[in-house]
């Protein structure tokens, strides 16, 4: 069980980073985990500077277990203020790790606190919890960039 509830995860759960819905935003999504009822509302604010798109802010509110709540907090730390490309890389690395059934430990250098979720991969029922905020962000990001295309 200590694999799963690493101290870093519990810290983020008790003191979530970036929590709360903020203005401005280009897209807002509502995602649920239908098996357990966990919910997240998430907004994304993208900004373009010198031809590069930045994830200027990602803000969220919701209810859920320690894994989904801590994952949202870690995600905020990992992607807010980064370029969109960096954020997409962070998503890919995180998703690959938690879906690896424990095969991929994750690299602390590139992933930071997100490596604490490596233990989640050994608990198949909890992988969805860890991915809930990330999938919400991916969805919101797609919606926000689609909006750009229409402009």
84-98 and 124-150 helices cross at what angle (nearest 10)?
160
CB of 122 to another protein, least distance (A): 11
Is 126 a binding residue for another protein by CB under 8 A? The answer is yes
In terms of CB distance, is 9 or 84 closer to another protein? 9
Interaction pattern, residues 3-42, with another protein; x per rule: CB under 8 A: -xx----x--xx--------------------xxxxx---
Closest Cα partner for 71 from 58, 84, 82? 58
Is 65 a binding residue for another protein by CB under 8 A? The answer is yes
Chain residues that interact with another protein, rule: CB under 8 A: 1, 4-5, 10, 13-14, 35-39, 63-67, 69, 123, 126, 129
């Amino acid at each position: 069980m200590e694999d799963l509830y690493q101290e870093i995860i519990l810290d983020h759960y008790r003191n979530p980073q970036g929590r709360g819905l903020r203005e401005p935003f280009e897209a807002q999504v509502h995602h649920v985990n239908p098996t357990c009822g966990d919910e997240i509302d998430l907004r994304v604010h993208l900004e373009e500077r010198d031809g590069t798109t930045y994830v200027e802010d990602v803000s969220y509110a919701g209810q859920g277990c320690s894994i989904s709540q801590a994952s949202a907090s870690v995600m905020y730390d990992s992607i807010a203020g980064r370029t969109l490309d960096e954020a997409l890389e962070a998503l890919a690395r995180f998703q690959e790790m938690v879906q690896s059934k424990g095969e991929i430990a994750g690299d602390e250098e590139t992933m930071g606190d997100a490596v604490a979720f490596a233990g989640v991969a050994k608990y198949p029922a909890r992988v969805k919890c860890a991915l809930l905020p990330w999938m919400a962000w991916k969805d919101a990001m797609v919606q926000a960039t689609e909006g750009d295309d229409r402009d």
